[in-house]
A and B are shown apart, each in its own frame.
Chain A
Amino acid sequence: MATFNRDQLVEFYTRMIRIRMVEEKLMEVFSNGEIPGFIHVCIGQEATPVAVCSHLDATDYMANTHRGHGHALAKGIRATDFMAELFGRKNGPCRGRSGSMHLADPDLGILGANGIVGGGIPIACGAALSAKYFKNNRVAVCFFGEGATGEGTFHESLNLAAVLNLPVVFICENNQWAEFTPQTVHMGIRDVAERAAAYGIPGVAIPNDFFRIHEEAGKSIATARTGGGPSLIEVQSLRWHGHFVGDAQKYRNPENIETAMSADCIADFLQRLYADNHITHEEAEGIRKQVQEEILSAVEYARNSPLPDPSELLEELWV
């Protein structure tokens, strides 16, 4: 922590609180019926995308998941672009064709959230292959949940990345729930990180603590960037909400939800900042207000943006 200056710490906090407040706003507008489809929020898991992406440039690559709002925001997508796409508007970065579950932005190396569990993991390997091939010094990171580690693509990708020595970092966000199934039901091991050993790459399991994640991601990304190959980082967190917004979570013990919601990576981070006098309560509140305004104006922008015209339906299937 000593290595960060105040501005950096404030910036990390701003990014994390932005993700949280975007998710809270989305829960509201989704429940109002303003956004069609599904929304999967990442509340309680904001530290990972911010800590990981703070090591990345816009030209670095990222593949992520259906629970991907935090990743896209951390990778630098503008709130207005983000909202326009989630609202299905024509001026979203994917012209309203992707929505929440497939949000992409090639200008920022965002190769797409993926509606298929495990679908993005080999795609990240491909991005890493291109970085290695073109020698452009880029890296690829891939976010996925522990549920995805039951998919063949996870295992095949780790093996491919290992044998081809690809500059890719696999980031497992273990929130202990694979859709409606707890980890104890679908995994015979406690730490996903153990799986790395099977492929001869480093794997580490760490708690949902911004500083630990930042440190481990920094090491892994630097290793990948300098030709040292892939690695796996597992961040063990807890899922605050249901699989999707509107999920009544009848499969889940209320105590489990309470426990999850009492562990807050942002509150923990802020406590550290208060304790070390990096920020005052008033300053933190000021940031919240500023972020809130930014989000409200992004939502207004999206609401006022045009929907795609039905005449665009058949456009550009092929080049």
Chain B
Amino acid sequence: MKEIRYIGGIKEAIREEMERDSRVVLIGEDVGKPGGSFGASRGLIEQFGPDRVIDTPISEAGFMGMAAGAAACGMRPVVEIMFMDFMTVCMDGVVNQIAKMRYMFGSRFSMPIVIRTPCGGGLNAGPQHSQCLEAWFAHVPGLKVVMPSTPYDVKGIMKSAIRDDNPVIVVENKALHALKGSIPEEEYVIPLGRADIKRTGSDVTVVATSRMVHESLKAAEILSAENIQVEIIDPVTISPWDKDRVFQSIAKTHRLVVAHEAVKQCGIGAEISAVVAEELMDELDAPIVRVGAPFVPVPFSLEQAYLPNAKDVVAGVRKVLEKTF
């Protein structure tokens, strides 16, 4: 085992996959010499050269569409969108082109693209650099969406994403970039679509994504002191999400809290809650509780008031324990 930061996990995954497969290239703003705005590609241009680490003009719509064409013609682009907010600028490429090209062309094209993009608050970067927009992409058929929460997960799933022949959006959280964790020295991959049990418990299931996994772990510690045992399921992949593992946990605890950093309205928590309500109502002992951000843009000065945290998860768990059908 070795200790690594989350951002280092991303870089190791990209480097190893570029070494393994010459079709893998990196495309984005500042990914070359500057090494990416968060350092995820530092050193890669020195190792692989400018044909494989392609610095682009500031033109997300242009280079996202270019990645689509490159993938359709046999390359395996890893595209960096510096902040998830900037995905708005290239939505046509992502939603109308990349997501659909395989299906609408009768499976004649393969679209092996990875889009990695940092989401979330915590840097006081304001309303245009702090959003969590993953639910938008989970709503689009054809895209796979992952939100790894640990250095171990991000490295393993990033490698799977690069090897996958489908478009995969890897949503990082900026607040996790510096997080340290252990990973094996040897190569490993984490399959897409498999949830991970981050903590076992018997009283309440908390399905938490990305940074909220860590807030939920803190919450679980607090609640454990009161003898409330929380099980934390990290879906890791949010589209397609691992229904079986979530259902298994609910069958054990009979109570569900879903926690994410994105605004609660129409978030991925709404989807998970709705599916559980539709298909597993009989197992529930109490109404589902969602924890998420309030329905406002991420404010510069009130970021801490805005961001959901461990306290909100504790409150959510208490609420789901209060009521019984």
Contact = CB atoms under 8 A, between A and B. Distances in A.
Contact of A123 (B69, B74, B110): B69
Interface string B29-69: 00000000000000000000001001011010111111111
Contact of A160 (B59, B68, B74): B59
A24 to B, nearest CB: 27
A185 B241 CA distance: 48
Contacts of B20: none
Contact of B103 (A97, A115, A156): A97
Interface residues of B, number: 41
Contact of A122 (B61, B102, B166): B61
List the 8 closest pairs (A to B, CB-CB), nearest first.
Answer: A126-B69, A122-B65, A156-B62, A95-B106, A130-B73, A123-B69, A156-B59, A126-B70
B101 interface: yes
Interface string A138-151: 00100000000000
Q: Which of A92, A106, A130 has the most CB of B within 10 A?
A: A130
Given A119-B96, A119-B97, A159-B57, A104 B65 contact: no
A174 B98 CA distance: 27
B93 interface: yes
Nearest to A129: B70
A121 interface: yes
B103 A133 contact: no
A317 interface: yes
Contacts of A134: 74-75
A61 interface: yes
A130 B73 CA distance: 6
B301 interface: no
Given A105-B108, A106-B109, 5 more contacts: A111-B72, A123-B72, A153-B65, A316-B102, A318-B142
A52 B109 CA distance: 24
B65 A123 contact: yes
B102 A63 contact: no
Contact of B108 (A106, A140, A155, A317): A106
Contacts of A115: 96
A153 B25 contact: no
B75 A156 contact: no
Interface of A: 61, 63, 92-98, 102, 104-106, 111-112, 114-116, 119, 121-131, 133-134, 140, 152-153, 155-157, 159-160, 163-164, 315-319
B325 to A, nearest CB: 34
A160 B71 CA distance: 17
Nearest to B25: A133
A126 B59 contact: no
26 contacts: A95-B106, A96-B106, A102-B105, A104-B108, A105-B108, A106-B105, A119-B65, A123-B68, A124-B69, A126-B66, A126-B67, A126-B69, A126-B73, A128-B69, A133-B25, A133-B75, A153-B92, A156-B57, A156-B62, A157-B65, A157-B66, A160-B63, A316-B107, A317-B102, A318-B102, A319-B110
A156 B66 CA distance: 10
A317 B72 CA distance: 15
Interface string B252-292: 00000000000000000000000000000000000000000
A129 B57 contact: no
B289 to A, nearest CB: 32
Contacts of B75: 126, 129-130, 133-134
Nearest to B52: A133
A319 B54 CA distance: 27
Given A119-B97, A125-B62, A63 B105 contact: no
B102 A319 contact: yes
A93 B73 CA distance: 17
Contacts of A105: 108
Contacts of A126: 65-73, 75
B139 to A, nearest CB: 14
Contacts of A315: 107
B296 interface: no
Nearest to B58: A156
Contacts of B25: 133
A315 B102 CA distance: 11
B11 interface: no
Nearest to A138: B73
B66 A129 contact: yes
A160 to B, nearest CB: 5
B141 interface: yes
